[in-house]
Structure 1
């Protein structure tokens, strides 16, 4: 079966930068698993796997614009050190250089930033993706391609029977009133 929209894909891969430094690998562990064409993976990554089948190998490079983008200087900010105080004390157990700290945007969205520098007055943070600005070299092999079972589908998207969508309170036509 060839990789196409809606199919469950399992693949082992190795991700390196273009200098050959290992970023991550599934080799020796569970394969990457996702439902193809549903917005779970980078579109360019999916484009490279489209049409492949179990046993097919792959080897490709995604340039920054096709991966996590270029480094955006607007996402590198300085905040007042006082923003990280609890009862007048700087929270050095959570906020230190190299720490990943969850922050809230003005509209309440939680985003994670990397603390890059701390001074007496400010904390510098970078909200770019860790792989922003990098060309990514993927090598690997497609392990399996199949129609996802209900259980596999629900792992990614939750219960979707009938018109329920998870909010029926027992009054929909899906017939599974334990679902809502």
Structure 2
């Protein structure tokens, strides 16, 4: 039986809840058996504490843990909410109004070419307000789930840094 450890492929089912402003848990995401989460342990880009909580578990083991903002995606940063000139979003001289709907997440890049996602907060005549915080920034996250499967990663998966096959990347 394989154990969750560095360079293993881990398959999970889980419920993710966050604590709302009334201190109630609100379900925000589920990974169920028909579409589980599959990742390469130690190479996932997930919060370090998330992987730490799963380390050493075996197939069939249940888990339940919470992550504070500091252990996950940090505190909500008001300075990550910025106004961008609407003309930046023009394609062939036109702005796609469907693309700039409030609530949409758009792929963006900074001046150095770093890729990120930003949420459209407000669309004005000249400016668009974008939020570059992670969607779960500032939230306490609660995970309840089960380790479905653990297997050693293949040499190809390790060299590519991600899972191949079911639940993974298809080349």
TM-score (structure 2 length as normaliser): 0.81
Verify the 8 A CA contact 1:4 1:36 in the aligned structure 2: yes
How far, CA to CA, are the matches of 1:35 and 1:87 in structure 2?
40
Unaligned runs of 5+ in 1: 159-180
Higher RCO structure, 1 or 2 (CA under 8 Å, sep 6+): 2
Give the C-alpha shift of residue 26 in structure 1. 1.4
**Greater Cα radius of gyration, structure 1 or 2:** 1
Structure 1 partner of 2:145: 140
Verify the 8 A CA contact 2:44 2:162 in the aligned structure 1: no
Give the C-alpha shift of residue 155 in structure 1. 6.4
Verify the 8 A CA contact 2:13 2:33 in the aligned structure 1: no
Bigger proportion of residues as strand: 2
Shifted more, 42-51 versus 28-37: the winner is 28-37
Give secondary structure in 2 for the equivalent of 1:21.
strand
TM-score (structure 1 length as normaliser): 0.77
How far, CA to CA, are the matches of 1:12 and 1:157 in structure 2?
18
Structure 2 partner of 1:131: 136
The number of equivalent residue pairs is: 159
Q: Please give the root-mean-square deviation of Cα atoms over the aligned residues, in Å.
A: 2.4
Structure 1 partner of 2:95: 90
Unaligned runs of 5+ in 2: 164-171
